[in-house]
Chain A
């Protein structure tokens, strides 16, 4: 796998984890749990954005593997 493909797979893992966290947060009945899960989800969405940009950057760097 190329670097681009690796980062892409990480990006989708993050995306899935983010959704799972949100699902758990919605299901949870406890305020503290909800807050922790949403905070974590927030961090993950920041990471997701960064990785998205990185994927575009890598696609320009190694266009032959796009």
Chain B
């Protein structure tokens, strides 16, 4: 391109390459840097390197460079695609995880094979908040170099299942107000409408312009954060209040049953107190 001035040439090359690189890396997928294999890394560097050289070295033929970039893009892309379909290829390309601790015992041979020192092992365990190797039941070294640890049952965090607690299923909350503006799509996801939001905001006595962030959960409870942090907003009381009312009425009915001498009335109070108790049991997980 002899008739274009040098600065123009570089400008054109840069602009084209910025978009090409952006497009290629976008197509190569969403993997986080920490999930990349060494080959992915090198591949990225080479793509960037060719791009950089091509931008400023005018004696390099632009189209040759672009061709090289395409090769470095197409081959990894194809391999990734094949790996998606075939487990064998995947194991070869992405590698398999290595068992480091099994049944609470450290596999020294595997450690050596992965060039892992005892200190490395301890560091990785500490990163998982485990300071005592004896607390580990099973540990894996993932192909990406990450460490996955399954602690022994008695060292695991307590879950609701362990306590036999019945918890209400909670769906993900939706952000319905952002920067003082109503978001219609998340509202629709919860089967709610703008009128509902206006009512809830009126209940809290705030205007929508003053709301920095507002989220609604699947039970239709709205929580907001205001721009003005000096204003205090009431936390949702509807559910705890309802539960308290139920408990009070139940206790009252039991009291009436004790007080009355009329057998028929006594029985009626007792039966109904039992019914309310049953109702409390039913809704208790959902009102918490």
Q: What total of chain A residues lie within 8 Å of the partner, measured CB to CB?
A: 29
- B252 on interface, CB distance cutoff 8 Å: yes
- B169 on interface, CB distance cutoff 8 Å: yes
- B113 on interface, CB distance cutoff 8 Å: no
B218 and A50 form a contact (CB under 8 A): no
Dominant SS among interface residues on chain B: helix
Interface size class of B (residues with CB under 8 A): 20 to 34
Q: Write out the residue numbers on chain B whose beta carbons fall within 8 Å of the beta carbon of A20.
A: 238, 242, 245
User: In the complex, what distance in Å separates the CA atom of A13 from the CA atom of B246?
Assistant: 8
B279 and A40 form a contact (CB under 8 A): yes
Contact of A13 among B245, B256, B260, B286 (CB under 8 A): B245
Q: Write out the residue numbers on chain A whose beta carbons fall within 8 Å of the beta carbon of B238.
A: 20, 24
Proximity bits, B133-174, A CB within 8 Å = 1, else 0? 000000000000000000000000000000000001101000
Q: Write out the residue numbers on chain B whose beta carbons fall within 8 Å of the beta carbon of A10.
A: 249, 252-253, 256
Proximity bits, B243-278, A CB within 8 Å = 1, else 0? 001101100110010011000010010011001101
- A64 on interface, CB distance cutoff 8 Å: no
User: In the complex, what distance in Å separates the CA atom of A7 from the CA atom of B219?
Assistant: 32
B282 and A39 form a contact (CB under 8 A): yes
Dominant SS among interface residues on chain A: helix
Contact of B219 among A14, A21, A27, A57 (CB under 8 A): A27
Nearest A-chain residue to B221, judged by Cβ: A27
A3 and B218 form a contact (CB under 8 A): no
Tell me whether A21 and B169 are in contact in the complex, defined as CB-CB below 8 angstroms, given that A28-B220, A30-B218, A43-B276 are known contacts.
Answer: no
User: In the complex, what distance in Å separates the CA atom of A57 from the CA atom of B169?
Assistant: 43
Q: Write out the residue numbers on chain A whose beta carbons fall within 8 Å of the beta carbon of B71.
A: none
B246 and A6 form a contact (CB under 8 A): no
Q: Write out the residue numbers on chain A whose beta carbons fall within 8 Å of the beta carbon of B239.
A: 24
B220 and A27 form a contact (CB under 8 A): yes
Knowing that A21-B242, A30-B169, A40-B280 are A-B contacts, what are 8 other residue pairs whose CB atoms are under 8 Å apart, sorted by A's residue number? Answer: A17-B249, A20-B245, A27-B219, A29-B171, A29-B190, A32-B168, A33-B169, A40-B282
